[in-house]
């Protein structure tokens, strides 16, 4: 099933609850919550206090992507403040198996993220324990970047590995997902589509979420 995980990084934070409601009306089914620490990535975004407020404004699953250097220290806080899914960067986790296990022990679905230059093969030992794998289709840190076409091969490899090994993890993509690129990532095997600028950038999230999903489902 193809789902839209709308990224609130591109929303209007003065009207965050309203923007979330509009993206939901447009067909979005997962709230994507980007957490940046200024260490692992060259930007600082939002954290547990915003998550706590957001949790009151939506019943949708909140998908927290931790682009931070020490995820283990903050996983309990994300659980306590309403996260449903938490994904961590392969590149930032010294003991990835332990981190994924910690996420699950706090009652959340665990995901792992790989940057554009990280090979899919590095995930071999954890594919059987994750809810989703997020393929970054831009280098993380900023919204509104251009899609990197070569990342499609990684989505295809993951889809093939999942079938070959009989696994059930979901494939998520994030970065430059818009009305021009969405069909190519769906055809490659992605099911969870993270989009921010293409949903909120024009100020018409209901219409843009709907049209993006229509294109995605046509490709499927």
pLDDT digits (tens, 9 = 90+) for 84-115: 999 999 999 999 999 999 999 999 999 999 99
What does the alpha-carbon distance between residue 190 and residue 182 come to, in Å, rounded to a whole number?
9
Assess contact for 90 and 96: CB atoms under 8 A: yes
Whole-prediction pTM: 0.96
**C-alpha–C-alpha distance, residues 12 and 38, integer Å:** 21
**Phi, psi (deg, nearest 5) at residue 191:** -120, -30
In this predicted structure, the answer to whether residue 143 has a pLDDT above a threshold of 90 is no
In the predicted model, is pLDDT for residue 142 greater than 90? no
Q: What is the mean pLDDT of residues 154-176?
A: 97
* Per-residue pLDDT tens digits for 184-209: 999 999 999 999 999 999 999 999 99
> Is 128 one of the annotated active-site residues of the chain?
no
Q: Which of 19, 37, 63, 174 is catalytic?
A: 174
Residue 81 and residue 51 in contact, taking contact as beta carbons nearer than 8 Å: yes
For residues 60 and 153, what is the distance between their CA atoms, to the nearest angstrom? 30
174 is catalytic: yes
**Percent of the chain scored above 90 by pLDDT?**
96
- The residues facing 132 across adjacent strands are 111, 170
Q: What is the mean pLDDT of residues 135-156?
A: 91
- For the chain, how far is it from start to end, CA to CA, in angstroms? 9
Residue 31's nearest CA partner among 20, 15, 22, 17 is 20
Q: Are 54 and 8 in contact (CB under 8 A)?
A: yes
What is residue 144's predicted lDDT score, i.e. its pLDDT? 78
- Cα(78)–Cα(10) distance, rounded to whole angstroms? 21
**β partners of residue 64:** 33, 86
Does 220 have pLDDT greater than 80? no
117's tokens: 């230059």
Strands (E), the chain: 3-7, 30-36, 62-67, 85-89, 109-114, 132-136, 170-174, 192-195
Encode pLDDT of 4-40 as tens digits.
999 999 999 999 999 999 999 999 999 999 999 999 9
In this prediction, residue 141 has a pLDDT band, given cuts at 50, 70 and 90, of: confident
pLDDT tier at 145 (50, 70, 90 boundaries)? confident
Q: Which residues pair with 195 in a beta bridge?
A: 6
| Mean pLDDT across the chain | 96
Domains present along the chain, CATH in parentheses: 3-219 (3.20.20.70)
Q: What is the pLDDT of residue 95?
A: 96
Would you state the pLDDT for residue 210? 98
What is the reported pLDDT for 197?
A: 95
Catalytic residue chosen out of the listed positions 34, 37, 63, 208 = 34
Neighbours of 167 (CB within 10 A): 14
């Amino acid at each position: 099933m193809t789902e839209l995980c709308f990224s609130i990084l591109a929303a209007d934070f003065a009207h965050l609850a309203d923007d979330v409601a509009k993206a939901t009306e447009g067909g979005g089914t997962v709230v994507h919550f980007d957490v940046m620490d200024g260490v692992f990535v060259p930007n600082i975004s939002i954290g547990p206090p915003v998550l706590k407020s957001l949790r009151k404004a939506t019943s949708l699953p909140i998908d927290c992507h931790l682009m931070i250097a020490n995820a283990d220290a903050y996983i309990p806080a994300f659980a306590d403040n309403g996260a449903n899914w938490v994904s961590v960067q392969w590149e930032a986790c010294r003991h990835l198996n332990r981190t994924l296990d910690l996420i699950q022990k706090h009652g959340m679905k665990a995901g792992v993220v790989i940057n554009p230059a990280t090979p899919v093969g590095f995930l071999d030992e954890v594919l059987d324990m994750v809810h989703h794998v997020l393929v970054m289709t831009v280098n993380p840190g900023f919204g509104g970047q251009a899609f990197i076409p070569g990342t499609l091969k990684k989505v295809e490899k993951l889809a093939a590995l999942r079938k070959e090994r009989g696994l059930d993890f979901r494939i998520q993509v994030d970065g430059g997902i818009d009305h021009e690129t969405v069909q190519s990532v769906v055809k490659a095997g992605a099911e969870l589509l993270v989009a921010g600028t293409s949903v909120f950038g024009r100020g018409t999230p209901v219409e843009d979420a709907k049209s993006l999903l229509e294109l995605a489902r046509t490709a499927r």
